[in-house]
Amino acid sequence: MTCPIECSKVRFAVQVVREASHLVRQVQQELVTSALTKEDKSPVTVADFAAQALVSKRLLESFPSMGFVGEENADSLRTSEGRDTLIQITHFVRQLEPTATPDLVCEWIDRGAEAATGEFWTLDPVDGTKGFLRGDQYAVALAFIRDGQVRVGALGCPELGSGIKPDKGGPGTLIVARRTSGCFATTLADENAEWAKLSVSSESKITLARMLRSVEKAHTDTSGIGQLVTSLGIAADPVPMDSQAKYAVLAAGGGDINLRLLSPNRLDYREKIWDQASGSICVEEAGGRVSDLDGKPLDFSHGRTLARNRGVLATNGALHQQLLAGLKQIGA
């Protein structure tokens, strides 16, 4: 099936996110075993670095003059302690990019340390690391940004199935969006499969709103969210899910609210651009709305963080003003 949007950047995003998602899943299948201790995060480290190296290499081939802002850098891999991990990473990358060597892999990874420019790509190679280790939700998230606005975003969600619902071990889902062109989804497993256009829910009753809640409690202010739920009388059961897969579910109408409240202990924290770029455009192009906690649009023109925005609120649009009013009421 042809790409749903006629655009070179969309075609690239679809191809490379599908490729990186398969790579990450392969690392998971080979390295995440029942013998893995809770403290051992090495599989996600290998997956993170391998995916960033691969995407960086593909960007060099297709858009060599464009900037690249990634989550990782290769400093730790160049140490004696990181040598074995680098060899593992190179092994996985080489299966898709035969020219890979340890030195080249480090170079490709380090391209992600570039400064944000007028137009650039940003990547979260494995968003939802604990979900990845548990076999739950995680995502490969790639976005193209120009003049402070996300123009193209793609999410590879290996543990989401048809209907954008959790499906552990299933074929996975690929979502792509382009500004003013809509948001579409297909299966990760079959590049010839049909695409379906996504639309957010039409729910307008706040008491019935389904909130997408992170499984990992450290990711947001759970106490504040509890206050908000009580204040607004939200009675629907929350949808527990980690990573930007929440954005995919919201875009498909499987939830109504995705909220990132600032922790009382980190009120000066600002979101990393790669944690929000891909998912935010998917929701917006599916008919939803994304803003910060003050109702301002997300501004991606200030480097590696959303420096001018406090937190993030994503909704189906119909509920947005009610949520903003509720946040003001609880002093969030």
Q: Number of helices and strands (H, E) in the chain?
A: 9, 14
- With DSSP H G I counted as helix, E B as strand and the rest as coil, what are the percentages for the chain, rounded to 5? 35, 20, 45
Examine the residue annotation and report whether 129 is marked as an active-site residue of this protein.
yes
d(Cα 225, Cα 128) in Å, to the nearest integer? 20
d(Cα 5, Cα 120) in Å, to the nearest integer? 20
Examine the residue annotation and report whether 122 is marked as an active-site residue of this protein.
no
Q: Exposed, middle or buried by CB within 10 Å (0-12, 13-18, 19+), for 280?
A: buried
**Rg of the chain in Å (alpha carbons):** 19
Q: Which two tokens stand for residue 179?
A: 């500004």
Determine which one of 48, 110, 136, 242 is catalytic: 48
d(Cα 54, Cα 242) in Å, to the nearest integer? 24
Determine which one of 45, 122, 129, 315 is catalytic: 129
Could you give the residue numbers annotated as active site? 48, 129
